[in-house]
Amino acid sequence: MDVLKKVPVREQDPKVRAANFEEVCLGYNEEEAREEASRCIQCKNPKCVKGCPVSINIPGFIKEVEQGNIEEAAKVIAKSSALPAVCGRVCPQESQCEGQCIRGIKGEPVSIGKLERFVADWSREHGIVPEAPEKTNGKKVAVIGSGPSGLTCAGDLAKLGYEVTIFEALHEPGGVLTYGIPEFRLPKEGVVQPEIDNVRKLGVKIETNVIVGKSVTIDELLDEEGFQAVFIGSGAGLPMFMGIPGENANGVFSANEYLTRSNLMKAFRDDYDTPIVAGRKVAVVGGGNVAMDAARTALRLGAEVHIVYRRSEAELPARAEEVHHAKEEGIIFDLLSNPIEILTDEKGWVSGMKCIRMELGEPDASGRRRPVEVKGSEFVIDVDTVIMSLGTSPNPLISNTTKGLDINKRKCIIAEESTGKTSKEGVYAGGDAVTGAATVILAMEAGRAGARGIDEYLSARE
């Protein structure tokens, strides 16, 4: 064993996986996990923990893995995270825990994410479930949204004895974990649902198909439905568009819609009645993780797929691992190119996309070199489907229907970071609804802060 290198993780072959929706990464088995765990040098001042937004005792759980005490390892993780099988799969570990790992100075960092995933999967397979509190304290709290922030806030409050009900607009809980991140990175039935069930086992009720702001308002929850506090974890699901001619054509999707149709409405499965217009040649506009997910989904639905991005490869905001996987699977990258018009046929369907070449100028406010159009360099890409993946913002429905709830100019709810407290009494918020589109682990951290804030608020009112 070369201690400078991670124990390699098994993956599906790129040629095989490009045509199926099964998980790309197959994870470690127990022998591989224990070998990888033995690479951790159990630092006295573990930098990895400082890199973890929820401060998991990383050397603590890794030590248990090394010794073969997987159930104990699961207990160590459970103190800080309610969704370890999710985080082990989708957290950007390279810029968090693994980015700080001492082992990474001379060789490769310890594979902390894959070890967390192994422990979580092992626990699920061995039927380990969290313990619910013996009795509740009779206080009711409403949580809006069942994404990682809402689930974490609800789980933490339930552990403290609160009676928690989550109200979810969609017909399935999980937020982006269910409707956004594709099956081949995060399996729904095998991984997401069991972690949601664990939150239910703590006593949390989940009511789906309830749109707060339409079915019921926050004021009604507080004044008429008997809830003493509310946590808003409604995410940032409103897609942005470019505002170019032809963007309303048939065959133009937002990445959110495309991924929701595939993940939530199972467009990729023959036994479902909600298919998608799969596209023969698809352009995905944007270079972030969501763009990679949309591109790899379209590829699996049978299309030739181009990523169209206005900067160069060095500026791609997606995780390096996602770009690497996308390339391995055959996604074509059209870099330094920007769409200026969607072309349509006589029936209003996409028939091509006019783009212009870009070059990089001086750095802009983001510190990245600004893309500048090259005059006279227009060209047409032959596509029949365009997926816009340009970012999202919070839906203003809740802020528009809740008096006294302050938002900023990006339409994000203003809330205190350490408690989630908003401008409205008894109302707390966190996750993407507050920060704009971010990450699962930051949403979980915010959910945890919101639970702390609500507990302090309701304890002080006794």
Interface residues toward ligand FAD, by CB under 6 A? 90-91, 144-150, 167-170, 175-176, 180-181, 210-213, 233-235, 237, 259, 289-290, 293, 395, 397-398, 431-433, 437-441, 443
From the CB of residue 142, how many other CB atoms can be counted at a distance below 10 Å?
A: 25
Choice from 43, 128, 132, 210 touching ligand SF4 (CB under 6 A): 43
CB nearer to ligand FAD: give 166 or 350: 166
Give the one residue of 59, 237, 287, 453 binding ligand SF4; rule: CB under 6 A: 59
CA nearest 166: which of 423, 431, 456, 394?
A: 431
Q: 147 is in the binding site of which of ligand FAD, ligand SF4, none (Cβ under 5 to 8 A by kind)?
A: ligand FAD
- What DSSP assignment string belongs to 104-146? GGTSPPP-HHHHHHHHHHHHHHTT--PPPPSS--S-EEEEE--
Residue type, 351: S
Nearer to ligand FAD, 39 or 258 (CB): 258
Kindly state the DSSP code that residue 188 receives in the 8-state scheme. I
Q: Which partner in ligand FAD, ligand SF4, none is near 40 (CB below 5 to 8 A by kind)?
A: ligand SF4
Nearest in space to 171 (alpha carbons), one of 107, 263, 42: 263
Q: What is the dihedral angle through the alpha carbons of 308, 309, 315, 319, rounded to the nearest 10 degrees?
A: -50
Residue 339: φ, ψ to 5°:
-70, 140
Residue 94 touches ligand SF4, criterion: CB under 6 A: no
Which entry of ligand SF4, ligand FAD, none binds 253, CB below 5 to 8 A by partner kind?
none
Instruction: Return the one option of ligand FAD, ligand SF4, none that residue 290 interacts with (CB less than 5 to 8 A, by type).
Output: ligand FAD
Phi-psi region of 160 (alpha: psi -120 to 50; beta: other; left: phi over 0): alpha
Q: Which of 20, 29, 42, 408 binds ligand SF4 (CB under 6 A)?
A: 42
**Does 112 engage in binding with ligand SF4 (CB under 6 A)?**
yes
Angle between helices 255-263 and 289-300 (to 10 degrees): 50
Contact region for ligand SF4 (CB under 6 A) — 96-104, 270-278, 292-300, 314-322?
A: 96-104
Residue nearer to ligand SF4 on the CB measure, 105 or 365? 105
Sign for the CA dihedral angle at 29, 33, 34, 36 comes to positive
Residue found by looking up tokens 């309830």 in the block: 210
**Pairwise CA distance, residues 197 & 71, whole Å:** 19
Q: Identify which of 123, 139, 21 has the alpha carbon closest to the alpha carbon of residue 81.
A: 123
Q: What is the DSSP string of 217-235?
A: -HHHHHHTS--SEEEE---
175 touches which of ligand FAD, ligand SF4, none (CB within 5 to 8 A by kind)? ligand FAD
- Tell me how far, at minimum, the Cβ of 102 lies from ligand SF4, in Å: 4
Smallest distance from ligand SF4 to CB 112, Å:
6
- Looking at 70, 76, 91, 110, which residue binds ligand SF4 (CB under 6 A)? 110
Residue 149 binding: pick among ligand FAD, ligand SF4, none (C-beta 5-8 Å cut-off by kind): ligand FAD
Query: Which residues form the interface with ligand SF4 (CB under 6 A)?
Result: 40-43, 46-48, 58-59, 101-103, 110, 112
